Amino acid sequence: MPEPTQTKASPNMADTDIAIVRIAPETSFKNKAYEALKEAILKMDIYATPEPVMLDERALSERLGVSRTPIREAIAMLEQDGFVKTVPRRGIVVVRRTKAEIVDMIRAWAALESMAARLITTTARKKDISALRDFFKDFGDDRLPQDHIEEYSKANIAFHQALISLSESPVLVDLTNDLLLHVRGYRQLTIGRKDRTATSLPEHLGIIEALEARDTELAEKRARDHTLGLAAYVEAHGQELFT
């Protein structure tokens, strides 16, 4: 039986072949809980308090208005992501990354982004590459990034995500997004620092130029060195975040 999953449709139905895919499966409580918890974890400043942040299944199920079952499934998913760790009979703790781990993640990010840069030089359209400049159109000699750090930081992240998207590589996009979620907590405190912001914008423009020039090796190198620079910066100046 060649097509066991497809019931034979009536003739006038098969010919029209209307493009209906499937009705919205309206996400389950499990997925809703996963999204809600993930957002909550990312929003909280895990590194503010010295005590580990704990989660309670029953409290969460009450807060979200569902039973513990979907909560537990969501927790299992978050544990796979590395956001929480459940200690048997002890509790669920929100994972805190060490400086070394953050630096390590940024290095992996650099690797993935430099590969994205490679791919872009061979496949992306000129128009799309040039559009990357738009993220920084609000900044210039008359409006320095270091004077609008919060705003520039947002543009910065958006630029990097758009850059990687241009590679049209789902794997690179997904992996870097995951890494970014873990690094973001620190990123708020480091990427926007004035001393680094000053060099950031020219480096970004340099990456774009190399991409436009279809210079694969140079684009890769600039993308890599730029992000490795961030890693080195965090490694050198991120100490105060881990007191």
Partner DNA sequence: CTTAGATTTTTGGCATGCCAAATACCAGAA
Partner DNA sequence: TTCTGGTATTTGGCATGCCAAAAATCTAAG
Q: What gap in Å lies between CA 82 and CA 90, rounded to an integer? A: 18
Q: Is 91 in the site for DNA (CB under 7 A)?
A: yes
Q: Does 234 bind a copy of itself (CB under 8 A)?
A: no
Given 37, 41, 92, 110, the residue binding a copy of itself (CB under 8 A): 110
Angle made by CA atoms 42, 197, 123, in degrees to the nearest 5: 80
- Residue 92, binding choice from a copy of itself, DNA, none, Cβ under 5 to 8 Å by partner class: DNA
The nearest distance, CB 130 to DNA, in angstroms, is 44
Using CB under 7 A as the binding rule, whether residue 50 contacts DNA is answered as no
The residue among 240, 228, 242 whose CA lies nearest residue 105 is 228
Q: Are 230 and 196 in contact (CB under 8 A)?
A: yes
- The residues in 183-202 that bind DNA, with binding defined as CB under 7 A, are none
Indicate whether 57 belongs to the interface with DNA (CB under 7 A): yes
Contact residue for DNA among 2, 50, 88, 170 (CB under 7 A): 88
- Does residue 129 contact residue 208 with C-beta atoms inside 8 Å? yes
Answer for which of 30, 96, 193, 214 binds a copy of itself (CB under 8 A) is 30
Query: Among candidates 37, 46, 186, which has minimal Cα distance to 105?
Result: 186
Q: Per the structure block, which two tokens stand in for 121?
A: 């030089």
* Cβ atoms of residues 101 and 63 within 8 Å: no
Minimum distance from residue 221 beta carbon to a copy of itself (Å): 9
For residues 200 and 191, what is the distance between their CA atoms, to the nearest angstrom?
A: 9
Residues that bind a copy of itself (CB under 8 A): 4-5, 25, 28, 30, 51-52, 69, 72-74, 76-77, 79-81, 87-88, 101, 104-105, 107-108, 110-112, 114-115, 119, 169-172, 175, 179
